[in-house]
Amino acid sequence: MFKFKEWFTHHLEDNVREGELTPYHYTNPYLIGLLLGLVLLATFVIMGRGLGASGALSTVVAVGVETVAPSAVENNDFYKGYLGDGTQSPFKDWLVFEVIGLVIGGFISGAIAGRTKMMVEKGPRFTNKKRFLFAFIGGALMGFGAKMARGCTSGQGLTGGAALSLGGWAFMLMVFAGAYATAYFVRRQWI
């Protein structure tokens, strides 16, 4: 194959399939941080806004609720915020397009690096079934929390952080506080 691919795949042996987590299978974290920062900066410069993720999920939920029970949406400002003024599809939304790109971009990177094998992310002492249950519970907490905080790690953490938003920084500190405080109780899942 060509050299470009080699450069990306010289650490093909994926650490997550090994017992130990070793960092060098992925690109250097500081370099990745720099690149991620430049993507964020480009978004600021081009769009005058930052990155996000949970907003796109909310659009899907809002449209789902509206489809099933239109009356439930009428008096609910939360759902309404994601449905727009009705002149165009709620999916014609900046974050929705960004997240579609994110999924494809993630796949391209994974494919180049040989990391697209079906698998379950968990520690060696945890069953798949339990892991799926925990993933669902964690996802639900995250969805709820992100809506309460008006954004997730991308929208509040990265974007708010770089823009020095007070709410963004308060949010981020609490994310780490919440996660570190809980880590001990779910350690069997991961280590």
Partner 1 sequence: MTAPFYKFGYFNDEVSLIIAFVIGLFFGFVLERGGFGSGRMLAAQFYFTDMRVFKVMFTAIVTAMIGLFYFAWMGFLDLSLVYYGDTYLLPQIVGGLILGIGFVIGGYCPGTSGVAIATGKLDAIFYALGGFFGIFVFGEMFPLLKDFFYSTHMGKVNLPQFFHVSYGFVLLVVILVAIAGFTLVEWGEKVVAKKRTENK
According to CB under 8 A, which residues from 118 to 147 bind partner 1? 118-123, 128, 131-147
Of positions 13, 37, 125, 188, contacts partner 1 by CB under 8 A? 37
Which listed residue (10, 74, 89, 105) binds partner 1 by CB under 8 A? 105
Contact 91, 61 (CB under 8 A): no
Residue 49 engages partner 1 in binding (rule: CB under 8 A): yes
12 binds partner 1 (CB under 8 A): no
| Contacts (Cβ under 8 Å, ≥6 apart) of 142 | 54, 152
Residue 17 DSSP class:
G
The reply on whether position 10 binds partner 1 by CB under 8 A is no
For residues 47 and 84, give the distance between their C-alpha atoms in angstroms, rounded to a whole number: 19
- Asked if 63 is part of the footprint of partner 1 (rule: CB under 8 A), the reply reads no
Buried b vs exposed e over 18-42: b needs ≥16 C-beta within 10 Å? eeeeeeebeeeeeeeeeeeeeebee
What minimum distance in Å lies between the beta carbon of 1 and partner 1?
Answer: 19
Per CB under 8 A, the list member of 6, 10, 179, 188 interacting with partner 1 is 179
Our CB check for partner 1 shows the closer of 3 and 117 to be: 117
The answer to whether 155 and 163 are in contact (CB under 8 A) is no
